[in-house]
Amino acid sequence: MNLSNQSKSIIVIIVVLLTVSFYQSKKFEVSIIQIENPILRSLSSFYISKIENIKSFLGLKSFFNKEEYFWQYLKELPKSLVYQFETINHVSPISFLTINTPYNVLIVGDSFIAESFGPILEKELLSFKDTYVFRKGIYSTGFSRPDYFNWDEEIKKLILEKRPNIAFVMFGANDGQDQTNLDKKVIHYGEKEWNLEYGRRVERFLKILEDNQVFVFWIGNPIARDKYYADKMANLNSVYQGVCQDKLNCLYFDVWDTLATSNHEYSAYLPDEDGQKRLARASDGIHTTAFGSQIMLKEIIAMVVKKINFQREK
């Protein structure tokens, strides 16, 4: 058959796109929550869920999971040579009273830690005496999708590598999505069981830190502009707060109202110390600008220094 270049290019593009999206559906699924256009988000979600159904029907899920683990292993190979397994002496219970210098601080979380609030917190903590800071923020991650990025495994590695005694944790922006529990049952966001499953994951994460003598400052999410996100963030905050208050090694910071107006509403602009209104939120209505991050930082640091004896470098 003699096809024109035009027909050939159309065939190649369609087949390659379909095959790649089939093969890589898991990777695309994680990014769906970030699509702002609701029609596109629904269409993509529908398309990817159909692919996942086909994979299940054909019994290919286990193959794709193994294949993904292989690539993750390969990509982390040089790092894994560096790590050496060490047993950590368990001395519990841990509380802020047991933390001594040097302060090895770990800051972990999602995009808030990668680029929005994280760098500002890191700079501030570096200005304290005997304080070492390591920040790891990974976009589009959280606790809902350990198949995509497993924070339990990551925190274990970071603990071995950095030996922290304090951690600042901030998650949630990507977590308002379906979860699959240990029985392989998919729990849709909004179902009663969802918060229980999510809470279990947060608790497991905190337990790893607790077992390794790390005190945690858990930062909640600030109010968001769009109701779609705001409702999810508020719900996730309630889970973090609930789990945290049952733990000796965790202190929860509620920053919801820190970036809200006096009427507890969202505003992109907030007053500074002189009463001048300045842009506090990024254009997505979720993240913070440098000014917004400074507002959060001020409140958080004020509470932290009440608990930990941080001293400024002269």
Question: Is the four-CA dihedral 115, 216, 131, 87 of positive or negative sign?
Answer: negative
- The minimum distance between CB 283 and another protein, in angstroms, equals 5
Q: Is residue 160 close enough to count as binding another protein by CB under 8 A?
A: no
From 45-53, 201-209, 246-254, 277-285, give the range in contact with another protein by CB under 8 A.
Answer: 277-285
From 92-100, 134-142, 189-197, 206-214, give the range in contact with another protein by CB under 8 A.
Answer: 134-142
CB atoms within 10 A of CB 35: 14
C-alpha–C-alpha distance, residues 300 and 117, integer Å: 11
The one among 79, 90, 129, 188 contacting another protein by CB under 8 A: 79
CA nearest to 44, candidates 53, 33, 54, 56: 33
Instruction: Say which residue the tokens 């093969």 belong to.
Output: 23
3-state SS class at 168 = strand
Task: Report which secondary-structure segment, H or E, holds 114.
Answer: none
The one among 56, 283, 309, 311 contacting another protein by CB under 8 A: 283
From 88-96, 117-125, 193-201, 246-254, give the range in contact with another protein by CB under 8 A.
Answer: 117-125
C-alpha–C-alpha distance, residues 292 and 290, integer Å: 6
The one among 234, 279, 299, 307 contacting another protein by CB under 8 A: 279
Query: How far, CA to CA in Å, does 293 sit from each of 116, 144, 222, 256?
Result: 7, 25, 10, 13
The one among 90, 123, 129, 185 contacting another protein by CB under 8 A: 123
Q: Is residue 20 close enough to count as binding another protein by CB under 8 A?
A: yes
- Residue numbers at the binding site for another protein (CB under 8 A): 3-6, 8-9, 11-13, 15-16, 19-20, 23-24, 27, 30, 37, 40, 71, 75, 78-79, 82, 114-115, 119, 122-123, 126, 133-135, 138-141, 148-149, 268-269, 276-279, 283
